[in-house]
Structure 1
Amino acid sequence: MQAIKKAISWKLFILSYLFVEGSCQDFGGGQTQFICTSVPKDVDICAATLQNSMPGENLKTTVMQLRETVLQQKETIMNQKETIRELTSKLTRCEGQSAPEPGPGGRRKETGTKNTMGDVSRGPSDTLAQLSQTLQSLKQRLENLEQFSRNNNSVQANSLKDLLQSKIDDLEKQVLSRVNSIEDGKPGMRNETEQRGRVESTLTSLHQRITDLEKGQKENRPLDKFQLTFPLRTNYMYAKVKKSLPEMYAFTVCMWLKSNASPGVGTPFSYAVPGQANELVLIEWGNNPMEILINDKVAKLPFIINDGKWHHICVTWTTRDGVWEAFQDGVMRGSGENLAPYHPIKPQGVLILGQEQDTLGGGFDATQAFVGDLANFHIWDRKLSIGEIYNLATCSSKAQIGNVFSWLESSIDIYGGASKWTFEACRQLN
């Protein structure tokens, strides 16, 4: 009954409206006719009247076209908003990101995300500095190859050297172009990822060609006369020792290092075992001093080595009372105790040079990667005497090699663009 009343009210309202306002359309003949039609509440009355007087199909087509136009404009606006958000996000990343704060023991705080770009997150100026450093490293290696080719009259080596030099010149032009783009208001930042991919691809190719060329030198050098070079902070450049360490109740680890990386030289080596990624680690990360980690316990070391010069460093440790000693260039610089006392170094782990492990054999973080040169890495399962360490640092003929691990090319595999080339520790002292 209520519905019938509403319908009658609607019809009366429409009829009175039409009589007051006049007709919506004159149908000719000089006489005005009024059409009484019930229409929904939200529909314009004149539009409803016109719909009855116009061809229905044309009106329907017009309405559909208008609706489609509105939807297209709405979609265009949404796409433009999304594009603006994406460009804003990319510009923010290009302007630089801050590195995470260090956690206890100089290690980073977990943020739930991992750097998957390969390089440490950095702004354009840092990227250009790293590229320049890489180019300088490649040039230095080419100079060594040039000297080698002169001594051996190698025509093939000379031709390859010229080709590589040309490619390095092209890379320098790309770096200069990126500098100009930044100075002109960063108009090329939208293509940052694409440009970076091209440069890194070229660098990888150069590293491979130079490595192939350097293989010609291996036949003319002893297996222990080499160094590893890590030119960039990445999470993919590293070297892996082919065998694990035995269980040890004492150890001495020694090596030659050269780096001018800042802040911190990174991680010269890390040893992880199942269930403990920080079984034995040497690391200098961020603004922290260099540290030795044993079973995730930390001792700060008094080393100062990031001056771009070669330094010989040794660390000794015994499980009894956790006593440790630190030597730089043959001189004891510090000592302590209570570093993981009565905890033997566990066997069946993975020994990595150049990266800090968060998981067994992986989980690398570019911000903790070693940048520089490393050579003559040796490990003993005992504490060396002060005299023995001095002999190592001064290249004495009485110097010994590690009985747990000794520095040989055949004992190491390299990955991700890290390189090997000839190194004589004693020539650095002359």
Structure 2
Amino acid sequence: MRFSCVLFLIAISMALAVSVPIKSVVFPRATNTDHVEFTPLKPLNLRAFSLCMRVATELTGQREVIFFAYRTPDADELNLWRLNNGRLGLYLRTSSDSESVAFNVPQLGALETHLCVTWDSSSGAAAVFMNGRKSLTKIYKQGHTVRPGGKVVIGQDFDSYSGHFDAHQSFVGEISDVNLWDSVLSDSTIQDLSSGMRAPRGNVLDWEAAKLRFHGGAKVVNREL
């Protein structure tokens, strides 16, 4: 009986140790063309969300960098930026103002960072996680709803619904494992995701099941977590 238990534990350990193949997108240059369009599993009609991804970039200096952009025909609905002051900025659209909520976090670099941002409409609570570590909570756009009917793009910021991208805001580097949930994940779940555990997958955007459309020089490479 003891021997059977040992074999069972060894089998479990080997299963957990198996690396998981995943696609990663490399944006090799600053352009107004290179981007990836992401097809959601369901409309982005959001009263809460968790957005996570793995990011590496060598971009430095006083320049905005877009990580994630979701736009409807009328306006930008959900954007995640590195702002020109180096802070990480979450932007949600409302009719009254265009302010983002910004977090003073360690600078992103060539070493990959697991990055998450969470937001809940009922309280307005917003927070950032870097490699599983949570920032302070800020209150932002309480009562707001992210509206459906738009496009999700990685690597560029929409100046209009049809495109019109700006090379000075484009992403240069590598992005992978982009997932979006329509709820706020627990701190422990985000820590597990940061360490490479595969569940749960995003129920709005699922990187492993996603249909990606590549434009310009954005390239996909295969890797393992």
Name the residue aligned to 1:423.
223
1:151-170 aligned at under 5 Å gives the runs none
Name the residue aligned to 1:404.
204
- The separation in 2 between residues aligned to 1:287 and 1:232, in whole angstroms, is 21
Q: Deviations over 1:110-131 (max 9, x none)?
A: xxxxxxxxxxxxxxxxxxxxxx
Is contact 1:285-1:368 (8 Å) kept? no
Q: Deviations over 1:247-278 (max 9, x none)?
A: 111000000001111125711110011211x2
Name the residue aligned to 2:24.
227
TM-aligned CA deviation for residue 325 of structure 1: 1.2
Residue 327 of structure 1 aligns with an amino acid whose one-letter code is F
Name the residue aligned to 2:15.
none
Name the residue aligned to 1:255.
53
Name the residue aligned to 2:163.
362
- The separation in 1 between residues aligned to 2:116 and 2:123, in whole angstroms, is 19
Q: Deviations over 1:167-188 (max 9, x none)?
A: xxxxxxxxxxxxxxxxxxxxxx
Is contact 2:39-2:205 (8 Å) kept? no
Name the residue aligned to 1:341.
142
TM-aligned CA deviation for residue 400 of structure 1: 1.3
Greater length-normalized contact order (CA 8 Å, ≥ 6 residues apart): 2
Name the residue aligned to 1:310.
112
- The separation in 2 between residues aligned to 1:272 and 1:226, in whole angstroms, is 24
Is contact 2:64-2:168 (8 Å) kept? no
1:88-237 aligned at under 5 Å gives the runs 225-237=22-34
Is contact 2:86-2:107 (8 Å) kept? no
Name the residue aligned to 1:328.
130
Name the residue aligned to 1:176.
none
Query: Rg bigger for which structure?
Result: 1
- The separation in 1 between residues aligned to 2:137 and 2:196, in whole angstroms, is 24
Is contact 1:302-1:326 (8 Å) kept? no
Name the residue aligned to 2:100.
298
Is contact 1:350-1:361 (8 Å) kept? no
Is contact 1:273-1:350 (8 Å) kept? yes
Change (3 A) 1:265 1:394: farther
TM-aligned CA deviation for residue 409 of structure 1: 6.5
TM-aligned CA deviation for residue 304 of structure 1: 2.5
- The alignment's TM-score, normalised by the length of structure 1, stands at 0.45
Name the residue aligned to 2:6.
none
Q: Please state if 1:389 is matched with 2:190.
A: yes
- The separation in 1 between residues aligned to 2:186 and 2:84, in whole angstroms, is 32
Name the residue aligned to 2:80.
282
Is contact 1:305-1:311 (8 Å) kept? no
TM-aligned CA deviation for residue 241 of structure 1: 1.0
Provide the aligned length of Structure 1 versus Structure 2.
Answer: 201
Is contact 1:314-1:327 (8 Å) kept? yes
Name the residue aligned to 1:68.
none
Name the residue aligned to 1:241.
38
TM-aligned CA deviation for residue 361 of structure 1: 4.1
More strand as a share of residues: 2
Q: Deviations over 1:277-317 (max 9, x none)?
A: x2100111433412010113310023324321000011110
Q: Where in structure 1 are there 5+ consecutive unaligned residues? A: 1-220, 426-430
What's the C-alpha RMSD, in Å, of the aligned pairs? 1.9
Name the residue aligned to 1:71.
none
More helix as a share of residues: 1
Task: Name the SS of the counterpart of 1:389 in structure 2.
Answer: helix
- The separation in 2 between residues aligned to 1:346 and 1:388, in whole angstroms, is 26
Residue 29 of structure 2 aligns with an amino acid whose one-letter code is L
Q: Where in structure 2 are there 5+ consecutive unaligned residues? A: 1-18
Residue 405 of structure 1 aligns with an amino acid whose one-letter code is L
Task: Name the SS of the counterpart of 2:137 in structure 1.
Answer: strand
Name the residue aligned to 1:196.
none
Which segment drifts farther, 315-324 or 402-411? 402-411
Where has structure 1 moved over 4 Å in runs of 4 or more? none
TM-aligned CA deviation for residue 410 of structure 1: 4.8
Name the residue aligned to 1:75.
none
Name the residue aligned to 2:69.
270
TM-aligned CA deviation for residue 380 of structure 1: 0.1
- The separation in 2 between residues aligned to 1:410 and 1:321, in whole angstroms, is 31
- The separation in 1 between residues aligned to 2:209 and 2:28, in whole angstroms, is 19
